[in-house]
Amino acid sequence: MNCQECPKYLKCRSLCPDAEKYANQDDDVSQWQKVSFTVQIEEMEAKPMQGLLTTEAILQDYFIERMKQSEIARKHSKSRPYISKVIKKYSALIVKNIKKEVKSG
């Protein structure tokens, strides 16, 4: 029931159980996000990227470290589709450059 539909609306001084449940819905810890932003920040601070650009770090993690895209996304606080897009774009460039090198030399 909506508070404005309640017969006690004009004289009400405290919340009824339904309104109190609605007002306190954020207090239910089980509904909160499982990983807090501070955890993600702590993970990033634990392993600095040593001056690499994000794209370079993503490519290094994927091709050299052999990390999964989901792990890379978590590590760099990016979405997995973004990681996939970067890898796909630069993989195509790498293949193109290799083909060019093979033809020229």
For the stretch 20-70, pLDDT in tens is 777 776 665 555 555 455 555 555 555 555 556 888 899 999 988 999 999
Residue where the block lists tokens 């293949």: 95
73 in the same domain as 56: yes
Same domain, 38 and 88: yes
- Contact (CB, 8 A) for 73 and 83: yes
Q: How far is CA 35 from CA 11, 30, 54, in A?
A: 43, 12, 22
Q: Are residues 13 and 42 in the same domain?
A: no
Distance CA 11, CA 86 (A): 61
Give the residue numbers spanning the domain of 7.
1-32
Structure tokens at 48: 């600095």
3 and 25: one domain? yes
Residues 39 and 15 in one domain: no
Residues 60 and 81 in one domain: yes
Instruction: Looking at the structure, tell me whether residues 73 and 100 fall in a common domain.
Output: yes
Residue 56 and residue 7 in one domain: no
Same domain, yes or no: 43 and 1? no
Q: Report pLDDT digits (tens) over 59-75.
A: 999 988 999 999 999 99
Q: Identify whether residues 12 and 37 lie together within a single domain.
A: no
